[in-house]
């Protein structure tokens, strides 16, 4: 196994208030270096917000009864620390972010949103290579070959020259996954990356992603406890009002796991209990 060059990340003192309602306060958790961390929780609890805080991306707010985005104010008191602050009318958010290697996250992070965000005027191949285009990196045959290899791994090589309008929602999501993998960054943030896929394709993409994401520091949001059990080196649950994080659940064996393995049964029960799901597990 190669040495891990992906940093661990500590998010601390995270707080979010929306319209005087506290969604979470003084929240802290750590992403283990080179591991997949899965985050579960009900809709609206703040999972995506945590992801966007880590990426220093705008948050959704409201102004004049219309949705708007609130930009982040980012300070760097130390080389390995960011202080992220959002403050505009109804939304106030703060957090501290530290890396284990004392290097900034900027330029080392790839983000996959819930929506595919494919540009409609570009082919699927061009969308996958969008990062290089935006960075004004001259296109080479080796880059094209690499992008095609990734498209093949998500089952879309034959659709490389199609525009997004010709693709199903599941194909678009796989295209967004391919674009994220093409970035090959040490830190990957993924917001429900398999939600639009049918069960068989989802299983295949989980297996592929577990292989491609080895040695990367990953935060993966999901609503599927079995997906978390398949992929997560550690699993957190965010729930409550204000929201709190559970203690980490650490399943045995390495991902991708066989969720029918009897060794996982106690962890299935624990996850369902933590999620307060009324499902009988025998």
Hey, where are the domains in the chain?
Answer: 115-184
pLDDT confidence of residue 1:
37
Give the pLDDT band of residue 19 (cuts 50, 70, 90).
confident
Q: What is the average pLDDT score of the chain?
A: 88
Using alpha carbons only, what angle is made at residue 40 by residues 39 and 43, rounded to the nearest 5 degrees? 120
End-to-end CA distance of the chain: 37
Report whether pLDDT(78) > 90: no
Helices first, then strands: H and E counts in the chain:
8, 13
What is the strand order of the sheet 9-18 is part of? 21-31, 9-18, 91-99, 81-88, 73-78
* Strand ranges in 66-184 using DSSP code E only, listed in sequence order: 66-70, 73-78, 81-88, 91-99, 109-112
Q: Which two tokens stand for residue 109?
A: 């992070």
For 165-193, write each residue's pLDDT tens digit.
999 999 999 999 999 999 999 999 999 99
pTM of the model: 0.88
**Residue pair 178/154 in contact by the 8 Å Cβ criterion:** yes
Q: Cα torsion at 172, 43, 262, 201 (round to 10°)?
A: -10
65 has a pLDDT exceeding 60: no
Which three-class secondary structure state does DSSP give residue 107? Answer: coil
Residue 21 or 262, more confident? 262
> 28 in helix, strand or coil?
strand
Pairing, β 9-18 against β 21-31:
antiparallel
Q: For residues 161 and 261, what is the distance between their CA atoms, to the nearest angstrom?
A: 41
């Amino acid at each position: 196994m190669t040495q891990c060059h992906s940093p661990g990340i500590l998010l601390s003192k995270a707080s979010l208030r929306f319209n005087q309602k506290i969604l979470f306060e003084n929240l802290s958790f750590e992403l283990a270096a080179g591991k997949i961390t899965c985050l579960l929780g009900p809709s609206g609890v703040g999972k995506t917000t945590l992801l966007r805080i880590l990426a220093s991306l705008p948050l959704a707010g409201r102004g004049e009864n219309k949705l708007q985005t609130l930009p982040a104010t980012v300070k760097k008191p130390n080389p390995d620390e960011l202080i992220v602050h959002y403050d505009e009318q109804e939304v106030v958010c703060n957090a501290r972010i530290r890396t284990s290697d004392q290097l900034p996250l900027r330029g080392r992070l790839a983000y996959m949103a819930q929506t595919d965000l494919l540009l409609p005027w570009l082919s699927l191949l061009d969308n996958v290579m969008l990062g290089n285009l935006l960075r004004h990196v001259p296109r080479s045959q080796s880059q094209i070959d690499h992008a095609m290899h990734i498209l093949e791994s998500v089952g879309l090589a034959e659709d490389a020259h199609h525009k997004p309008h010709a693709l199903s929602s599941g194909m678009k999501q796989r295209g967004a996954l391919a674009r994220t993998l093409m970035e090959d960054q040490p830190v990957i943030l993924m917001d429900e990356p398999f939600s639009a896929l049918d069960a068989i394709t989802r299983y295949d993409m989980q297996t592929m992603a577990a292989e491609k994401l080895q040695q990367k520091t990953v935060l993966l949001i999901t609503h599927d406890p079995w997906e978390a059990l398949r992929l997560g080196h550690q699993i957190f649950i965010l729930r409550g009002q204000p929201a709190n994080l559970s203690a980490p659940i650490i399943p045995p064996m390495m991902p991708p796991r066989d969720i029918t393995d009897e060794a996982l049964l106690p962890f299935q029960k624990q996850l369902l209990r933590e999620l307060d799901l009324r499902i009988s597990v025998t």
